[in-house]
Copies of this chain bind each other. A is one copy, B any other.
Amino acid sequence: VPPTRPFTFIGGDDGEWRVERIDAVAGDSLQSVATVAIVDRLIVEPSTAAGWLLRGVTSNERYATRREHVLLAAAQPALGRPEATCAALIPIRKTQQWWAMAQDERRAILEEESRHIETGLRYLPAVARRLHHCRDLGEPFDFLTWFEYAPEDAHAFEELVRILRHSREWSYVDREVDIRLVRP
C-alpha cells in the first residue's frame, strides 16, 4: 500500500488531456480550459494566469469493508492503459449535513442504501479510477475522482455516473462538475 500521494490537476492550455466539455452538474462550474495536466505534487500557483488548479491526495479507504476491498483490488485496472483514451475528472463537494453525520450513518447511506461500492464494482475492469481527497486541504471541493476508460466503454461509464447521481448519497452533493477529456 502506498502512502498518501499528492496530485494537482492543472486546467490550462498545455496539458496531455484535451478537454471535450465541462458541465456544471450542481452548483458553480469551473472556467473553460483547453486541456488538463496532472502532476504528482501539490502546486500552489498556476504557471499561467488563465485556468485553475485542483489539488488532492490519495489516502486510506474510508468506507470499504475488507470484503469489498478485496473485491475492488482484484478487479480494478491500473491507470494509463493504452486503450483508455477517454477520461473524466469529477470534482464534488458534499453538504455540511453529510459531514456532520457519524461514520455509521454515512456508511449506511453510501453503501447499504446507495450501493456506491457495489455499483462501482459492476463497471470493473472497464473503468479505472483514482480517488483524491481534498476537503482537509481547504480546497473548494471534497473529492476529485479521475476515471479512464476506452471509447467502447463510454456508454457503460455514462450509466455508472447516472446511477450514482440518482442515489440517496448524491442528495448530499451540493457542487459537482463533470469534465470529460480525451488523450489525442
Contact = CB atoms under 8 A, between A and B. Distances in A.
Name which of A6, A63, A66, A133 has the most chain B CB atoms within 10 A of its CB.
A66
B65 A138 contact: no
Contacts of A180: none
A4 B135 contact: yes
Q: How large is the interface on A (under 10, 10 to 19, 20 to 34, 35 or more residues)?
A: 20 to 34
A3 B96 contact: yes
Given A1-B96, A96-B1, A96-B3, A64 B136 contact: no
A137 B57 CA distance: 8
B64 A103 contact: yes
A136 B138 contact: no
B1 A102 contact: no
A104 B135 CA distance: 22
A164 B99 CA distance: 27
Contacts of A96: 1, 3
A68 interface: yes
11 contacts: A1-B96, A3-B96, A3-B99, A4-B136, A6-B138, A57-B138, A65-B103, A65-B104, A66-B104, A103-B107, A133-B136
Given A6-B138, A62-B62, 4 more contacts: A57-B136, A60-B99, A61-B103, A103-B107
